[in-house]
Structure 1
Amino acid sequence: MNAFADGLAVLFADPNIATPALWRAGGAGAGVAVRLVDAAPDESVGFGEARVLASARRVELLASAVPGLARGDTLEIAGVVHTVLASPRRASDRLTVTVDIEA
């Protein structure tokens, strides 16, 4: 690990920044305990002349905690199950992944 990875581990462990969740590959099984950070506020998307509020929630996770994260997996947050809507996007440093989940 490098200093940046160590710093991210500290941030994701901080209860003021990260939220506990359970990751279930394919939406099945007991789940793996992970921590996530809300990556972006609600997004307003243009559709012609109208603006639509996107109904997805974007979260960031440590890539090492979710090595096989994929579309269709679930993240249970505070007892609510959210489905991963698209393939995860890795950050340029390859240390974190960002996914959109059902809000």
Structure 2
Amino acid sequence: MNPFALAVDAMFDDPNMAEDAIWRAGGGAGGLPVRIRYRSPEAIVGLDGNRFDLAATLIEVRLSEVAEPAEGDQVDVLDDDGAVRETVEVTALSRIDARKLVRTCGVARLARNDDP
């Protein structure tokens, strides 16, 4: 494994920098356990033709865990006890980092049945 992959894995494995989640392709049942990182754009950002503003929510996922993230995929973000804290849906795909290790995705929070 190269040093860049080791550094990315260290960030995603750090409980202070990343979170456990279940990635559900197309929003289907089941899913794949992954680690995600939330990102907050600091301004209006243009990435590969996509534009994100301060209200946007971005997540990063390792391509070693989700090789082909797609719009419509759903991600159940887990709390410390392993229960679903929130569910987000991938609304936009953005860049892949230069080393092809991490993909940034725009997401939107889905309302849960018990939300007011």
Q: TM-score range by the shorter chain?
A: 0.7 to 0.9
Q: Does the alignment pair 1:84 with 2:90? A: yes
Give the number of aligned pairs.
96
Residues 44-100 of structure 1: CA deviation (Å, up to 9, x unaligned)? 69xxxxxx853x310111111111210000111132211100124211221100001
- Give runs of aligned pairs for residues 65-80 of structure 1, distance below 5 A: 65-78=65-78, 79=84, 80=86
Question: 1:94–1:44: structure 2 CA closer, same or farther, 3 Å change rule?
Answer: closer
Question: 1:95–1:44: structure 2 CA closer, same or farther, 3 Å change rule?
Answer: closer
Distance in structure 1 (CA, Å) of the matches to 2:54 and 2:40: 13
- Where does structure 1 differ by over 3 angstroms across 4 or more consecutive aligned residues? 41-45
Task: State the TM-score, normalizing by the size of structure 1.
Answer: 0.81
The question of whether the paired residues in 2 share the 8 Å contact of 1:20 and 1:77 is answered with yes
Amino acid at match of 1:16: N
- Give runs of aligned pairs for residues 11-90 of structure 1, distance below 5 A: 11-41=11-41, 54=55, 56-78=56-78, 79=84, 80-90=86-96
Distance in structure 2 (CA, Å) of the matches to 1:39 and 1:97: 12
Give the counterpart of 1:99 among 102, 105, 109. Answer: 105
Structure 2 unaligned regions, length at least 5: 46-52, 79-83, 110-116
Distance in structure 2 (CA, Å) of the matches to 1:102 and 1:42: 17
Which structure's residues are more often helix, by fraction?
A: 1
State the SS of the aligned residue for 1:7.
Answer: helix
How much is the aligned-residue C-alpha RMSD, in angstroms? 2.0
Task: State the TM-score, normalizing by the size of structure 2.
Answer: 0.73
Structure 1 unaligned regions, length at least 5: 46-51
